[in-house]
A and B are shown apart, each in its own frame.
Chain A
């Protein structure tokens, strides 16, 4: 299924992330997380690489979960100190749900990041979404990774001036990052202007419609997968919200 049509992968990603927003019950969140992880593996995502990226965000993940645990004190008390409920079952479940939500986002991200952006843009355009909008959206989404790459390069250049970041205290490090932000952003924005000119020089937006080289075509399995996903999604929402 790693060569599944990008529209199927997009549908799966939209359903999973929508579920992550809608579901608050931990059992459902756990089920959704397993479903998402399974789907990611099926679509050929490099979960090991995604896991390594997730490790960097572990402190953030734990903090988000901890905030839920600390501030939600309804439900059965689990840890009580001097008459004050410190940790409740509801708080713990909410914390777990918050962490699982992030994992769902990472798994869907791992699949979409590996997908050929051109295939996705063309697939969306084939669905009738204006090409200019799709392309602009993906270019905008690319800006962040480009900016991050440029910032990384700037940090490399700075270190190769003899700055040992390991020995720089946090306060100075923040000051340093701040000082790099504007020049890197300026350079990135200049690149965007050049790219826009180059795109127009290749006829972007010249005609009201455009053809597609090797258009995405949904095969039988893609249609089956799309049908199954939609049905699962609808049934899940129905069951979840039925008292």
Chain B
């Protein structure tokens, strides 16, 4: 099944030049697709458009079509989008809003009206997956950048989306953290999830099944 599909997707910021030019992309369930490209090529912007953050939260002009598990993203209620897509941004500080790690993971689950017992199960499982169980009550401002990024990832995993979009999620991680995230990606794929991974050197990670290269607003699938 195709988890995410973009058809002739173009984008520009208000009053800005064309940043993404007629992009076709697809990510199937059970696979991890890497998105690479030089700094400033628009990879993060593409992630935000694919996740619906643009134009919902950040204004911009989107043309073309995005399908999420076969349904059009445009006009999809936020609750449905969020249940299907988990997006981890580059900057961990911009994704943490609460005093403790536990509160951080609870936030998304509360927004989607999960009952308390279900939240408890998901929070415990997500913290175990990223190796932060011992940091459950730690203050988020006392965490290192890598721990913050793992917290942000755990918060997204707790929502059990079908598609993960990781925008340079590996950047602040040490070897142990990176290994944990690679395993998460493998397990996620194995369970039928789909992953779109933005990294500078995805081949170093060894988890991607296919990759795309973004440059000059154009996207090309890279031959394996």
Contact = CB atoms under 8 A, between A and B. Distances in A.
Given A117-B98, A191-B93, A211 B82 contact: no
Contacts of B1: none
A116 B99 contact: yes
A22 B79 CA distance: 46
A213 interface: yes
B122 to A, nearest CB: 10
B53 to A, nearest CB: 5
A213 B94 contact: no
B110 A200 contact: no
B115 interface: yes
A175 interface: no
A217 to B, nearest CB: 12
Given A194-B94, A196-B57, A197-B53, A211 B155 contact: no
Contacts of A200: 53, 56-57, 78
Nearest to A139: B97
A211 B113 contact: yes
Interface stretch (B101-109, B172-180, B209-217): B101-109
Contact of B103 (A118, A139, A209): A118
B87 interface: yes
A203 B119 contact: no
B73 interface: no
Contacts of B100: 116, 118
A148 to B, nearest CB: 14
Nearest to A194: B94
B79 A206 contact: yes
A82 interface: no
A210 interface: yes
Interface in A175-212: 191, 193-207, 209-212
Contacts of B156: 202
B113 A201 contact: no
Interface in B87-141: 87, 89, 91, 93-95, 97-100, 103, 106-116, 119-120, 123
A203 B77 contact: no
A211 B108 contact: no
A238 interface: no
B46 interface: no
A206 B112 contact: yes
B98 to A, nearest CB: 5
A171 interface: no
A139 B94 CA distance: 13
A202 B98 contact: no
B78 A191 contact: no
Contacts of A199: 97
A118 B82 contact: no
Contacts of A205: 78, 111
Given A139-B97, A197-B58, A206-B82, 20 more contacts: A116-B103, A117-B99, A193-B57, A194-B89, A198-B89, A198-B94, A198-B97, A200-B57, A201-B87, A201-B89, A202-B107, A202-B111, A203-B78, A205-B78, A207-B112, A211-B110, A213-B106, A213-B110, A213-B116, A213-B119
12 contacts: A196-B57, A201-B53, A203-B78, A203-B79, A203-B82, A203-B159, A205-B111, A206-B79, A207-B111, A209-B113, A211-B119, A213-B110
3 shortest A-B CB distances, which residue pairs?
A203-B111, A213-B106, A194-B94
